[in-house]
Amino acid sequence: MPGILVVAEPLEGSLSGVSHELLGAARQLSAQGGGPVAAFIAGSEAQAKETIAYGADSAFAATNPALAAGTAEVLLPAVQAAIAQSGAEIVLLAQSSLGRDLGPALAFANKTGVAMDCVELKIEGGRLRVTRAAYGGNARAEHTWRGNPQVATIKAKSFDPLAADASRSGAVTTIDAAGEARIKVLGIEKATSTGIKLEDAAIVVSGGRGLGDQSAFQLLEQLASALKVAAVGASRAACDLGWWPPAQQVGLTGKNVSPNLYIAVAISGASQHMAGMSGSKNIVAINKDADANMVKVSKFAIVDDYRKVVPALIEEIKKLG
């Protein structure tokens, strides 16, 4: 079986969270007959071994110092070498700033196609079949490839990572290739955020246009703080109105979240919003319209004015301590 190559990304001496998810996705494909899982990382042998602990059968550590630039053009020859050496017919990358560049560059270099921002993957008849949003989130498109490698970028939070297993072992091969750097990265600025990160929160409380005004988000913050492990997100309509930061938008053009509990307050449940949170384990809708889509898809719904429901909810949660 030719197999799968995961292009993992380093982060602060370790692996980025989405790299863990890619390895989890690759293991699922492998179980469906996709072949062995190899991982590529522009980093140390220790980082390569970490990819094995998270699900790879073998790994490539690309160690050329020029790769520190982190751009697609310098990484391309190294990833190409890993594809050739592993014989992989499937290449998975994150829908990250690197994956957005490197995915199309790999497809172009190999005269094949790339499917971007995929949310589902499966092996059918020995080939990769992926699903991604189309027509602004109003439809879902499935793609297959005629040629190889089948290159796909994966939307964050679409797959669960596996727990690390340090006892897993596999071969680590060093690659020295690097491309010419024509782009110079002058600096990287970390987005500052306070509190729990939306993508990592066990509970997400999100507010929509139905809140009526910006001050209502203070009420949602009180609910989130009573729940202790919650972050506050918003629909695009609420963000467009300037009520909540765009970086906290959930949906097709915002963040993907899959918390244990998603509390949607005054959000109608448009397909573009659902695209970012339908993977939530439990959805609770608070909406005054019993026919709202969010109410229909939720596990529990409270059909009433949020102004009555949310303060009462906060009070009851506080009683639980």
Ligand X SMILES: Cc1cc2nc3c(=O)[nH]c(=O)nc-3n(C[C@H](O)[C@H](O)[C@H](O)COP(=O)(O)OP(=O)(O)OC[C@H]3O[C@@H](n4cnc5c(N)ncnc54)[C@H](O)[C@@H]3O)c2cc1C
Q: Is 313 in the site for ligand X (CB under 6 A)?
A: no
Q: Is 158 in the site for ligand X (CB under 6 A)?
A: no
Q: Is 157 in the site for ligand X (CB under 6 A)?
A: no
Which residue number, 20 or 273, has a Cβ lying nearer to ligand X? 273
Q: Is 254 in the site for ligand X (CB under 6 A)?
A: yes
Closest approach, Cβ 86 to ligand X, in A, equals 36
Which residue number, 124 or 304, has a Cβ lying nearer to ligand X? 304
Q: What are the tokens at 3?
A: 């197999």
Closest approach, Cβ 303 to ligand X, in A, equals 8
Q: Is 27 in the site for ligand X (CB under 6 A)?
A: no
**Residues within window 84-123 making contact with ligand X, judged by CB under 6 A:** none
Which residue number, 80 or 287, has a Cβ lying nearer to ligand X? 287
Closest approach, Cβ 291 to ligand X, in A, equals 9
**Chosen residue from 136, 147, 195, 311 binding ligand X by CB under 6 A:** 136
Which residue number, 40 or 243, has a Cβ lying nearer to ligand X? 243
Q: Is 277 in the site for ligand X (CB under 6 A)?
A: no
**Residues within window 222-241 making contact with ligand X, judged by CB under 6 A:** 235-238
Closest approach, Cβ 157 to ligand X, in A, equals 13
Q: Is 179 in the site for ligand X (CB under 6 A)?
A: no
N-terminal to C-terminal alpha carbon distance within the chain: 54
**Chosen residue from 160, 305, 315, 316 binding ligand X by CB under 6 A:** 305
Binding residues for ligand X (CB under 6 A): 136-137, 208-210, 235-238, 249-254, 266-268, 270, 272-273, 276, 286-289, 292, 305-307
